[in-house]
Amino acid sequence: MEEMMGRRVAHEDPLAVFLDGQLCYEQGLYEEAFNLFEKIEDTDFQAMYQLGVMHYDGLGTNKDPERAVEYMNKILHSDSPKTRHLKFAAAYNLGRAYYEGCGVKHSTEEAERLWLIAADSGNPKASVKAQSTLGMLYSMPVLKDLKKAFFWHSKACANGSLESQGVLGIMHLYGQGTRQNTKAALECLRKAAERGNSYARGHLVEYYYTGKFYSMAAALGKRTTENDDHDMLAKATDCHPKYVAKGIAMAAFYLARCLQLGRGVQQDQDAANIYYSKACDLDPDVASHLELAANLGRI
């Protein structure tokens, strides 16, 4: 099979070249993948798309975000039916470029416009990442509209987004963009936690602790903090590293609180100090906020 593929690539069968390039890409052999995609970029839009991603992130080549934007624009504005399945992803990536001001001038408004195209009114075949990103965008001060945030997280969650499933649980829990609904909140948070969402786990630990279910808080806190490599977890779950770190920091703090006060577990000040330190290392802001609440007797 590999020998046959090699003969086809040698004769530059475009499909074989693309498949070989994709295999290299998935194996992390980015330079080899880049060279193969370059061979067919003029005739293969999928290869063009992959080159755009690689130029933007500097995979197998030097970072060239302007070139990446050029490729994504070609795909988005092409009349070829061969680009139909790539347009949502191209629009999402262009939105990311405008939001980050990388390869183009920063524009939150243009990022929003492009992400709305990519999200396609919640179409499950569109970019679910764009749907979830819109939910995050409308939660931020610059365009704050929690009803829109809830709408987009609901669409993304229904289409399989683990990140939005966790956020949706939190919005239900605190009545953000919707009526407070503890039952719906716990359903979302527990399902997201089971699927590996650390942000959801951190909020569940907080919910259990403040509800005085100390044994449950300590047990989930321990499981959540067993792996604190938030970058690896973010990649594995397709969740933002910042929120993964926040979730683990919350879990570490409440576990430390349980250990310090002997709530749900045997009292152990040395272990508590370790988890307090872990919370601070992962997210100093979260740790400081929770420490203040503890000092004021709120938790």
pLDDT by residue (tens digit) across 98-156? 999 999 999 999 999 999 999 999 999 999 999 999 999 999 998 999 999 999 999 99
What is the spatial distance between Cα 239 and Cα 41, in angstroms, rounded to a whole number?
31
pLDDT of residue 296: 65
Backbone angles phi, psi at 31, to 5 degrees: -65, -45
pLDDT band at 299 (very low <50, low <70, confident <90, very high): confident
Domains in the chain, please, with CATH? 1-126 (1.25.40.10), 196-299 (1.25.40)
Q: What is the reported pLDDT for 274?
A: 96
Written in H, E and C, the secondary structure of 134-180 is: HHHHCCCHHHCCHHHHHHHHHHHHHCCCHHHHHHHHHHHHHCCCCCC
Whether the CA torsion 266, 201, 297, 284 is positive or negative: it is positive
Mean of the per-residue pLDDT values of the chain = 93
Structure confidence at residue 7 (pLDDT)? 44
Q: Residue 263: which pLDDT band, with cuts at 50, 70 and 90?
A: very high
Whether the per-residue pLDDT at 4 is higher than 80: the answer is no
pLDDT of residue 285: 87
Q: Which of 174, 220, 173 is nearest to 197 (CA)?
A: 220
Whether 1 shows a pLDDT value over 60: the answer reads no
Position 297 scores a pLDDT of 74
Mean pLDDT for 203-207 is 97
Contact assessment for residue 51 and residue 32, using Cβ atoms and an 8 Å cutoff: no
Locate 242 and state its tokens: 């910042």
Please list, in sequence order, all residues whose beta carbon lies within 8 angstroms of the beta carbon of residue 286, skipping any fewer than 6 positions away.
246, 249, 250, 253, 279
